[in-house]
Chains A and B, each alone.
Chain A
Amino acid sequence: MALLQISEPGQSPKPHERRIAVGIDLGTTHSLVAAVRSGVAECLPDDQGRVMVPSVVRYLGGERRAIGHAAQEQQTLDPANTIASVKRLMGRGLRDIAQAQSLPYALIDAPGMVQIQTAAGAKSPVEVSAEILATLRFRAEDTFNDDIFGAVITVPAYFDDAQRQATKDAAQLAGLQVLRLLNEPTAAAIAYGLDNAAEGVYAVYDLGGGTFDISILRLSAGVFEVLATGGDSALGGDDYDRALSDWLLQLTGLSALTPQDQARLMVLARRCKELLSGQDAVSAELELSSGSAAVTVSRAQFEAATRALTQRTLQSVRKTLRDSGLERDAIEGVVLVGGSTRMPQIRHAVAEFFGREPLTNVNPDEVVAIGAAIQANQLAGNNPSGEMLLLDVIPLSLGVETMGGLVERIVPRNQTIPTAMAQDFTTFKDGQTALALHVVQGERDLVADCRSLARFELRGIPPMVAGAARIRVTFTVDADGLLHVTAREQISGVEARIDVKPSYGLSDERIAQMLRDSFSTAQDDMRARALAEARLDAERLLLATGSALAADADLLGADERLQIDAAMQAVVAAQTDTDPAAIEARSKDLALATEAFAAARMNRGIAQALAGKNIDTL
């Protein structure tokens, strides 16, 4: 009741005691949203009590679409417009999609990222994912009857830069403020580790619907330190379905000719797979346009048909273990995550490899969303005493193209993020003012075998004789695992201008266009949303500044303090404004006024961390 709220002078009222922050597991087959409620992280159910949303979107033409269960139920009736497993298309070009022709929907080769042909026109995987995210956002808003402060969205640890950026873009499109992109196995480790007060070195084996991750982590006193991560961002339960589908076709001599056939076959294969986790054999009726047949599949047959896939996961495990510098027996526990780890052959293979039974006392479907919710709650500032610290790594090396199509490694894989590496480049012609850089991600020596991330064009280099310029290019990977590039000519100090052409993904203009076109942003809506966001940002900033002052006001001189107080008051006054730009301008002033204060606080924090440690060890 804002009208009745009385506040003491100098004590700012707290508009929201708690900020609603959610964790979202945007999965290949299912997605979930979780939040911390009364101190406990839990997945939020829909009105029928279901926590999982099938990651399926059906376009019905015009503005109409069905999402989740409603879409999945229609999958075999309208396969061409029912988009499932869209996660596999995120940040990918048509050439990257291994089984494009066996998908029941049609893909279009578009610049930047593949698109899907639907009754509502061509859709980017980012837009399809945004539909799923928006559904989860609405569910959370309905649950709390409040706006969502921000979200932690999980991604496979092995996702590359383009796939991460696409995920972040989808969240933006869905109207979610991304607090952090969190690696799925790390999220699982948080949920598992905090629940079990686990300490020591753990392996998280995460086989989802379409991706596989393996992470080796050290857990100690709330610190989750990833030692190494690896995996395959195109290997998951879907592939087991496909392998079984192929085997069924071979067995019966039938063929899947139409999209309906393909959809029906995949649904049948999935059902068989799921049943085989609990029983030794399953019988089914395969009905395709080319004919029908009764089939019986034994678990042994299923395991034989998919053995190569299981072996591929173990290959990644071996490689990641080598990267961590640890032997198998150093692993004190193995946590299984992802619905696909319900398959007995996976449990056996993992148990055999590590020589110990994997831990399965976590719900493999929910654990990732729950871990994300715990982190979201902490990032939103709801848990100031929270001792949790995540130290994650970059999964794939970053490099630049050099002469002859070779890769020069700049940031090696498994480096703790955030991280930055600088590299000096020079000009090779007199008077050269521009330089092109091609950044790739991957472990191979040839550019052609790595993934192209972006082409950077550095401009505005002062003309000099060949070889005289020293252009220092800094590659920064932030805590989301996303790459940023800056460049400076060292001798003149000129900041080079950088034009980025991402190889995959959507341009900023395209995102802006989608935002304009999207369901939630009719003209009025857009303004209302911008206003709400500006107010929320202003509030965030006021809260942060207030708590900073409460802690470290002694760092400020009287003048500085006056300036900050004035800037805060200006923001408070502007909050009633209906022009988002006016609010943003005051927020920006406040951010500027507190910049030196923030730097001084950071220095104090660092000094205190050291002082504390020095006393401990003396």
Chain B
Amino acid sequence: MNLQTDDFELFGLARQFAQSRDSIDQRWKALQREAHPDRFAAQGAAAQRLALQWSVRINEAYARLKDPVRRAAYLCELAGAAIQAHSNTAMPAAFLMQQITWREALDEALDMAALERLSQEVVASKGALLEQVAMLLDGVHDYAAAVDAVRALMFIEKFALDLHGRMDSLD
């Protein structure tokens, strides 16, 4: 076990997409109980530094494991199928059309109710894609196809972020 150990091993979880959020949370807390800098506050700078590194590493793994999209992307990467979110932005036409429709709906939404309707649609669409990802990763192990689905999910999350930004500004 070291700082380079992968997230699943660090958390003692099977390397697969399907995970119980409760187990992830429990292990996160158990690990932080060992490594958090608060446990080493009275033990000098070197111990603090070490605890900081481990605590950061555990939080990094936790953030990646608990978020299904990031967990899926991580599994693809571990299997050698990189997401390349920045360099590869080619998406199927139908998906792009949906994005454009959403963007228009976001621009035209005037009140919270309209934004919330849109939000529900986004959540549903994300849920459907996640089910597909689960099947691709844990069922048929088709990482190339999973990469495409994860990329689509990343687009959706970016949109959800903008949507929440609009909700904040309407407040």
On A, residues with C-beta under 8 Å from B are: 19, 149-150, 179-180, 223, 225, 315, 318-319, 322, 375, 378-381, 389-391, 415-420, 476, 478-479, 537, 540-541, 543-544, 548, 587, 591-592, 594-595, 598-599, 602-603, 605-610, 612-614, 617
Which of B37, B44, B63 is within 8 Å of A544, CB to CB? B44
| Docked-complex contact A609 and B33, CB < 8 angstroms | yes
| Docked-complex contact A322 and B168, CB < 8 angstroms | yes
Total chain B interface residues with beta-carbon distance under 8 A: 39
Closest 10 CB pairs of A and B: A605-B34, A544-B43, A379-B41, A381-B42, A610-B12, A609-B30, A591-B46, A479-B37, A420-B56, A609-B34
Extra inter-chain contacts (11) besides given A591-B44, A602-B51, A602-B54, CB under 8 Å? A19-B42, A315-B171, A379-B41, A389-B36, A390-B36, A418-B37, A420-B60, A479-B55, A543-B42, A595-B50, A610-B1
Which chain A residues lie closer than 8 Å to B23 at the CB level? 617
Closest Cβ–Cβ distance, residue A472 to chain B (whole Å): 15
Which chain A residues lie closer than 8 Å to B1 at the CB level? 603, 606-607, 610
Can you show 19 pairs from A to B with CB atoms below 8 A apart?
A: A149-B42, A150-B41, A225-B29, A322-B167, A375-B38, A391-B36, A417-B59, A418-B37, A418-B59, A420-B56, A476-B52, A544-B43, A599-B50, A602-B51, A606-B35, A607-B1, A609-B33, A609-B34, A610-B12
| Docked-complex contact A540 and B52, CB < 8 angstroms | no
Q: Quick one: closest B residue to A444, CB to CB?
A: B165
Interface of A, helix, strand, loop or mixed by DSSP: helix
- Asked, given contacts A319-B168, A380-B41, whether A608 binds B60 with beta carbons under 8 Å apart, the answer is no
Closest Cβ–Cβ distance, residue B149 to chain A (whole Å): 22
| Docked-complex contact B59 and A416, CB < 8 angstroms | yes
Task: Answer whether residue B45 sits at the interface, using C-beta atoms and an 8 A cutoff.
Answer: yes
Task: Answer whether residue B74 sits at the interface, using C-beta atoms and an 8 A cutoff.
Answer: no
Task: Answer whether residue B32 sits at the interface, using C-beta atoms and an 8 A cutoff.
Answer: yes
Which chain A residues lie closer than 8 Å to B26 at the CB level? 613
Which of B35, B44, B51, B55 is within 8 Å of A541, CB to CB? B44
CA of A544 to CA of B38, assembled, Å: 14
CA of A606 to CA of B58, assembled, Å: 10
CA of A418 to CA of B59, assembled, Å: 7
Task: Answer whether residue B31 sits at the interface, using C-beta atoms and an 8 A cutoff.
Answer: yes
Closest Cβ–Cβ distance, residue A505 to chain B (whole Å): 21
Q: Scan B8-43; emit 1 where CB is below 8 A from any A CB, else 0.
A: 001110000000000100110111111111100111
Which chain B residues lie closer than 8 Å to A609 at the CB level? 27, 30-31, 33-34
Closest Cβ–Cβ distance, residue A222 to chain B (whole Å): 9
Which of B30, B32, B164, B171 is within 8 Å of A613, CB to CB? B30
| Docked-complex contact A419 and B59, CB < 8 angstroms | yes
| Docked-complex contact A606 and B60, CB < 8 angstroms | no
Q: Quick one: closest B residue to A605, CB to CB?
A: B34
- Asked, given contacts A602-B51, A602-B54, whether A544 binds B42 with beta carbons under 8 Å apart, the answer is yes
Which chain A residues lie closer than 8 Å to B63 at the CB level? 415-416, 419
Task: Answer whether residue B88 sits at the interface, using C-beta atoms and an 8 A cutoff.
Answer: no
